[in-house]
């Protein structure tokens, strides 16, 4: 059932993102929100070099360097008299030294990536690591089956016959009672973004790398009664157990 008329979309902001909006700005679909350099995490196995250090020393090193920018060649640990000095192998953000003595460093690459808004919204919050967009919506409670989420857009219709799955459905959300594997795989091939199914004991057998949300019969009837045949933008959030319909 509908439980609110506002919804939030949280966007992760990588370190040192360049922002193009401020809190309070209204944005339209496709507006550029931020640009950042892509990041890559490198893993270095130091279990051999640090095999003899105690857990307390490892934790001390982890606390000392975690979330700090380190430079290639800078001293990480002096291994002692007549032993080699252990230096950082890479310049980047140190993500710590785990219990297996793996050192993780996040390096910034030259590749630029852009973030665009998927929905007409208002910027309500910008803080370290994230931006929050608020938009008008109807929210329907469901049951997520795999913890994925995706936006979809197009005409809302129920399709149960595989012959009606075609590339005109690309980018849309599929509403169906058919959970046969061949049917669902074709849905992915034609470009379906997410799948919404009617509550059924067999739904737990669904295995597909698309968001899948299950609606109970009452919610299914309410949603289809209000929206069948209409072109809508929506978010299927299997992780949060909900279907969010954007209001225009």
- For β-strands 212-215 and 194-198, DSSP reports them as parallel
Cα separation, 205 vs 30, whole angstroms: 36
Cα separation, 88 vs 148, whole angstroms: 36
Q: Report pLDDT for 3.
A: 45
Helix and strand numbers, DSSP H then E, in the chain:
3, 18
Q: Report pLDDT for 248.
A: 77
Cα separation, 103 vs 66, whole angstroms: 10
With H, G, I as helix, E, B as strand and everything else as coil, classify residue 22.
Answer: coil
Tell me the pLDDT band of 108, cut-offs 50, 70 and 90: confident
Whether pLDDT at 82 is above 80 = no
Question: Among 73-87, 89-103, 179-193, whose mean pLDDT is lowest?
Answer: 73-87
With b meaning 16 or more CB within 10 Å and e meaning fewer, what string describes 116-141? ebbbbbbbeebeeeebbbebebbbbe
Domain 6-31+117-246 CATH (choose: 3.40.50.1980, 3.50.30.10, 3.30.420.40, 3.10.250.10): 3.50.30.10
What is the per-residue pLDDT across 24-66, written as a single tens digit (0 to 9) for each? 999 999 999 999 988 888 999 998 888 888 889 999 999 999 9
Identify the residue with better confidence: 11 or 204: 11
Q: Domain-by-domain residue ranges, the chain?
A: 6-31+117-246, 38-110
Tell me the pLDDT band of 204, cut-offs 50, 70 and 90: confident
Q: Report pLDDT for 39.
A: 82
Beta bridge partners of 125: 132
Tell me the pLDDT band of 1, cut-offs 50, 70 and 90: very low
Concatenating the DSSP letter of every residue in 30-93 gives T-EEEEEEEEEEEEEE-TTTTTTS-HHHHHHHHHHHTT-EE-TTSEEEE--TTSPEEE-SS-EE
Q: Report pLDDT for 37.
A: 84
Residue with tokens 């070099």: 49
Q: How far is CA 177 from the centre of its chain?
A: 27
Whether pLDDT at 113 is above 80 = yes
Tell me the pLDDT band of 235, cut-offs 50, 70 and 90: very high
Q: Report pLDDT for 161.
A: 96
Supply the mean pLDDT for the chain.
91
**Overall average pLDDT of the 148-173 stretch:** 95
CB 89 within 8 A of CB 70: no
Whether pLDDT at 2 is above 90 = no
Q: Report pLDDT for 124.
A: 97
């Amino acid at each position: 059932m509908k439980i609110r008329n506002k919804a939030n979309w949280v966007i992760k902001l990588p370190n040192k993102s360049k922002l193009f909006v401020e809190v309070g700005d209204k944005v339209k679909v496709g507006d550029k929100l931020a640009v950042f350099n892509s990041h890559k995490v490198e893993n270095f196995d130091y279990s051999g070099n640090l095999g003899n250090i105690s857990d307390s020393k490892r934790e001390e090193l982890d606390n000392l360097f975690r979330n700090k920018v380190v430079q290639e060649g800078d001293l990480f640990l002096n291994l002692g008299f007549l032993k080699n000095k252990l230096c950082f192998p890479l310049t980047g953000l140190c993500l710590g030294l785990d219990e297996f003595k793996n050192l993780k460093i996040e390096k910034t690459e030259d590749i630029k990536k852009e973030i665009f808004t998927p929905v007409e919204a208002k910027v309500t919050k910008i803080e370290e690591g994230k931006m929050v967009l608020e938009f008008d919506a109807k929210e329907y409670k469901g049951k997520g089956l795999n913890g994925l989420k995706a936006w979809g857009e197009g005409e809302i219709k129920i399709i149960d016959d595989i012959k009606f799955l075609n590339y005109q459905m690309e980018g849309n959300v599929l509403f169906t009672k058919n959970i046969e594997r061949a049917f669902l795989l074709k849905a992915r091939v034609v470009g379906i973004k997410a799948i919404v199914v009617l509550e059924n004991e067999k739904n737990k057998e669904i295995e597909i790398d698309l968001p899948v949300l299950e609606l109970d019969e009452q919610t299914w009837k309410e949603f289809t009664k209000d929206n069948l045949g209409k072109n809508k933008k929506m978010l299927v959030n299997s992780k949060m157990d909900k279907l969010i319909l954007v209001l225009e």
